[in-house]
Amino acid sequence: MAKKPSKTRKYVDMRYIMSPKSVAIIGASEKAGKVGNAIMQNYVDVGFQGRIYPININAEGSIMGYKAYRSILDVKRSIDLVVISVPAKAVPGVMEECCKAGVKGIIIVSGGFAEVGEVELQKRVYDIAQKYNIPVLGPNCLGVMDTRSRNDTLFLPTFKIDRPKIGGVSFVSQSGSVGSSTLDLISGEGFGLARFISYGNAVVIDEVDLLNYLAHDKYTKVIVFYIEGVKRGREFIELAKKVTRLKPVVILKGGVTELGASAAHSHTASLAGSAQAYEAVFRQYGFIEAKNLEELLYFAKVFDTQPPSRGNRVAVITNGGGHGVLATDALYLNGLVLPDITAESKERLRKTMPKIVNIKMPLDIGGDAGEERFSAALDILEDDPNIDSIMSITLFQTPGADEKVADAIIRHGTARKKPLVVVSTGSTYTKSHTSIIEGAGVPVYDSPDSAARALAALLWYSNYKNKVVE
Amino acid sequence: MAKKPSKTRKYVDMRYIMSPKSVAIIGASEKAGKVGNAIMQNYVDVGFQGRIYPININAEGSIMGYKAYRSILDVKRSIDLVVISVPAKAVPGVMEECCKAGVKGIIIVSGGFAEVGEVELQKRVYDIAQKYNIPVLGPNCLGVMDTRSRNDTLFLPTFKIDRPKIGGVSFVSQSGSVGSSTLDLISGEGFGLARFISYGNAVVIDEVDLLNYLAHDKYTKVIVFYIEGVKRGREFIELAKKVTRLKPVVILKGGVTELGASAAHSHTASLAGSAQAYEAVFRQYGFIEAKNLEELLYFAKVFDTQPPSRGNRVAVITNGGGHGVLATDALYLNGLVLPDITAESKERLRKTMPKIVNIKMPLDIGGDAGEERFSAALDILEDDPNIDSIMSITLFQTPGADEKVADAIIRHGTARKKPLVVVSTGSTYTKSHTSIIEGAGVPVYDSPDSAARALAALLWYSNYKNKVVE
């Protein structure tokens, strides 16, 4: 593993890695099955707006309609980013050429370095980066996806992996497979992504650089990390201490058990620490820890859209009694409470709800509740000073729940007066509504339990921030 | 709440409630928006194979093409099941007529009984049932759905709730809303249902009757209960002790926290006990406890399809390194272990896998692994005496994962040599394969964590059964 200079070194400039105006793909090919073919095809397919230069040592004429070059030195125009996909042994030579050509950033997707014991080869990559002072992402990574500029180096077959829409969550993954499959999973959710970064062996750009970059990135509202080990642990947490005062950082740590750590070692040649040490550090430094992939999604979407929580009192509105019971359990088991609403709220609810509605928490507004009851209840509970956040259980199987109810929820959930999360359990009809609700910026959960976990995470971070930011 | 006779009473006969050859719908109507309209429409839509008699006090001619009657006494043919959907106050009179007409079972979907304080009215329903010794489900319930006979009394709009396919899981829900929304959620999964029963206020047929019925039902392989409170607690657990020796019973208990219990009280007029008491009892009597709706699904599908687990040693095959790291964590945190495979297995793996594959657990067979590697690894690990069950992490974003890989997994996962669960994280392309895998009888999970929880539940129950069944 290449040694890093002291902590005084500057952060790496990510601009040209992430949002280049021109890209050269070294190893570009028309041969299906080659990584360089998938990358080139992808740049064409996703509609990258900048210039594209395919480079291949055997190139003749053009590749996919773009004029091809045998060497980057033949291009003779300024190039922001180079994506290198050639055999590991050829990488140092190619890098030298790129640096001589004056490129501004390099992504090495090729594997075959420290992760398979080729430590010396990786050291040469590091040395060249140092010599030319050039930002390098990888090797052994998927690279990046930038939803706005459509700079997208993913070399997995396009039809196998959906792309998320544009949004405020940025996702950094040490593991390419966790990164790409989670990216695909996120595409099925209603929320959007700003940046995706798979950084592999981190020979130059590492966790510290990426955390710093995303902290200052105006498009990134929530930072999500999947990490196995952190190379500059001390600097990472010291920086995190500052970043978590500004933005929520959700972290999923692979290798929290000892044997997990040994699996991580064979995977990306990093050394994972013990579960206990990481967990304590995460809490102390303000990270929001996700215990699994599901929580990573639950937390990302609530932080992306909802305002901070001022306390642990969660009002529950429901159009299904049983879900109210499950929500009560889930809130208490996650350290939240069902509040007593004010006498004024009770009076207002009594005036607007039918007699059959029992004015207490959880507020079961009935299986026949439509837009009118949902809206009135949300209005009243938003005004109530005894309530810190709201869980609206909206079961779309009921006769009254329709697009008007969805609209009412969107109206309230995007006003950001108080955190609002929705629970909707179901399939086709339900999902046709929840994808609109979530797409508009109100997080939706399958169960009261997952919604309660999201609200608990939101509260924990809000409290942390209040404590550290005087 | 009506008192029950001593525990020596016979179990209620469910045959005519569940799979009748003829059904009368009292309150049937052509007026959209009426419950009786939805029920009648549903019988027509789902293709119920038996005779249908719409009954309405104002009926003239026919309803939806079926000859209509003003009273059940006018029908003059034998009727197995009556579904009653008239105002609560009219229910006792209607019941008397049904009993005089010699019907064999009654489902009262109407609400307005003990759950809103009308205890006396509910007592009258009970007394009539006793007098005529007739099976009664409800009141205040959704009734039943039988996937085989297509007897389906759900009165929620058909387009709002998908119906699961035919399968081996039977689901009993005290709450109509939890029942129907979970039924809808299950429809989006690959596994199928045998029976669904929503029993509401349980004036006659209660948890004890239903547990007994499903224990002896040949179509039911896994019993799943959502309950808030149990009326005949002692008899329920004594019966469960016998049933859980025969079949897995998954239970989700609403109201495990004290305040949850008070919500349950307002909901279905049952008294929920304390969380601790229930949890202890569940373990002692062999119930598999689901902590939330997600676990209910995770557990149902593994018990529906996979053989018992003989131990805690889980082999992990993966085509993504990071998922292997997460799986290792998830296994250890759920009380399972990654085993050392035998020298013979290592030798066989070395012969079949490319050199780049590191022969150890978790077995990362590479991002380019196709059918050949998956098949070989599954063969070898199935034979290995050091391995009790297998988690196959199959990320379909990778170039090698395709329908042949899916076929190989189905072939191994349905052979039932050892429990096999699949982890596939992703959206459109992934789900197009996983729905086939799961439909064929191999459970698929979004994350290593949910798969590990399912395997841990499978092992816990297998151990319980071994202990109690000498």
Residue type, A186: I
**pLDDT classification of A279: cutoffs 50, 70, 90:** confident
Alpha-carbon distance B314 to A123, whole Å? 37
Does an H or E element contain A44, and which? helix A35-45
Angle, helix A343-352 to helix A371-383, in steps of 10 degrees: 170
Alpha-carbon distance A75 to A67, whole Å? 10
- Answer yes or no: is pLDDT of B97 > 90: yes
Using CB atoms and an 8 Å cut-off, which of residues 99-128 of chain A contact chain B?
116
Residues of chain A contacting B320 with CB distance shorter than 8 Å: 175-178, 181
Q: Which residue has the tokens 């499950």?
A: A326
Give the best residue of B159, B177, B253, B394 to mutate against chain A (max A CB count within 10 A). B177
The DSSP code for B338 is: P
Structure tokens at B47: 């293709």
Contact B293 A184 (CB under 8 A): no
Helix (H, G, I), strand (E, B) or coil at B110: coil
Give the best residue of A41, A191, A323, A325 to mutate against chain B (max B CB count within 10 A). A325
Contact A184 B397 (CB under 8 A): yes
- Bigger pLDDT: A328 vs B157: A328
Q: What is the model's pLDDT at position B5?
A: 42
Using CB atoms and an 8 Å cut-off, which of residues 163-202 of chain A contact chain B?
173-182, 184-185, 187-188
- Edge-first strand order for the sheet with B166-173 is B151-152, B143-146, B193-198, B166-173, B222-227, B249-253, B288-289
B467: burial class by Cβ within 10 Å (0-12, 13-18, 19+)? exposed
pLDDT tens readout for residues A350-379: 999 999 899 999 999 999 999 999 999 999
**pLDDT classification of A336: cutoffs 50, 70, 90:** very high
pLDDT tens readout for residues B1-32: 344 444 445 788 899 999 999 999 999 999 98
Contact A427 B188 (CB under 8 A): yes
Phi and psi, residue A383, nearest 5°: -75, -20
Structure tokens at B189: 């999964």
This complex has an ipTM of 0.93
Q: What is the model's pLDDT at position A12?
A: 86
Structure tokens at A391: 């869980």
Q: What is the model's pLDDT at position B178?
A: 97
Residue type, B271: L
- For chain A, residues classed under CATH 3.40.50.261 are 15-303, 307-468
Using CB atoms and an 8 Å cut-off, which of residues 305-344 of chain A contact chain B?
319-326, 328-330, 332-333, 338
Q: Which of A159, A396, A449 sits opposite B429 (nearest CB)?
A: A159
Structure tokens at A394: 């909206």
* A291 interface with B at CB cutoff 8 Å: yes
Which value, in Å, is the radius of gyration of the alpha carbons in chain A?
Answer: 25
The rounded mean pLDDT for chain B is 92
Residues of chain A contacting B424 with CB distance shorter than 8 Å: 181
Structure tokens at A390: 């709201």
pLDDT tens readout for residues B312-348: 999 999 999 999 999 999 998 898 999 999 999 999 9
The DSSP code for A88 is: G
**pLDDT classification of B273: cutoffs 50, 70, 90:** very low
pLDDT tens readout for residues A386-435: 999 999 999 999 989 999 999 999 999 999 999 999 999 999 999 999 99
Q: What is the model's pLDDT at position A307?
A: 97
CA distance A446 to chain B (A): 8
pLDDT tens readout for residues A110-160: 999 998 899 999 999 999 999 999 999 999 999 999 999 999 999 887 789
pLDDT tens readout for residues A15-32: 999 999 999 999 999 998
Using CB atoms and an 8 Å cut-off, which of residues 199-228 of chain B contact chain A?
226, 228
Nearest by Cα to A172 from A91, A240, A266? A240
Q: What is the model's pLDDT at position A268?
A: 43
Alpha-carbon distance B251 to B228, whole Å? 10
Instruction: Please check whether residue A144 is in contact with residue A200, taking contact to mean a CB–CB distance below 8 angstroms.
Output: no
pLDDT tens readout for residues B430-463: 999 999 999 999 999 999 999 999 999 999 999 9
pLDDT tens readout for residues A182-241: 999 999 898 999 999 999 999 999 999 999 999 999 999 999 999 998 889 889 999 999
Alpha-carbon distance A230 to B313, whole Å? 30
**pLDDT classification of A273: cutoffs 50, 70, 90:** very low
Q: What is the model's pLDDT at position B255?
A: 87
Structure tokens at B76: 């003059």
- Answer yes or no: is pLDDT of A80 > 50: yes
Contact A322 B449 (CB under 8 A): no
pLDDT tens readout for residues B349-395: 999 999 989 999 999 999 999 999 999 999 999 999 999 999 999 99
CA distance B392 to chain A (A): 15
- Answer yes or no: is pLDDT of A1 > 50: no
* A368 interface with B at CB cutoff 8 Å: no
Instruction: Please check whether residue B394 is in contact with residue B426, taking contact to mean a CB–CB distance below 8 angstroms.
Output: no
Q: What is the model's pLDDT at position A269?
A: 40
Helix (H, G, I), strand (E, B) or coil at B151: strand
Characterize the bridge pairing of strands A222-227 and B66-67. Answer: unpaired
Report the 10 Å Cβ neighbour count for B38.
22
Phi and psi, residue B137, nearest 5°: -105, 135
pLDDT tens readout for residues B275-316: 667 778 899 999 999 999 999 999 999 999 999 999 999 999
What is the domain class of B307-468 according to CATH?
A: alpha beta
Alpha-carbon distance B214 to B171, whole Å? 10
The rounded mean pLDDT for chain A is 92
Q: Does domain B15-303 have CATH number 3.40.50.1220?
A: no
pLDDT tens readout for residues B112-145: 999 889 999 999 999 999 999 999 999 999 999 9
Find the mean pLDDT for residues B39-50. Answer: 91
Q: What is the model's pLDDT at position A47?
A: 86
Residue type, B89: K
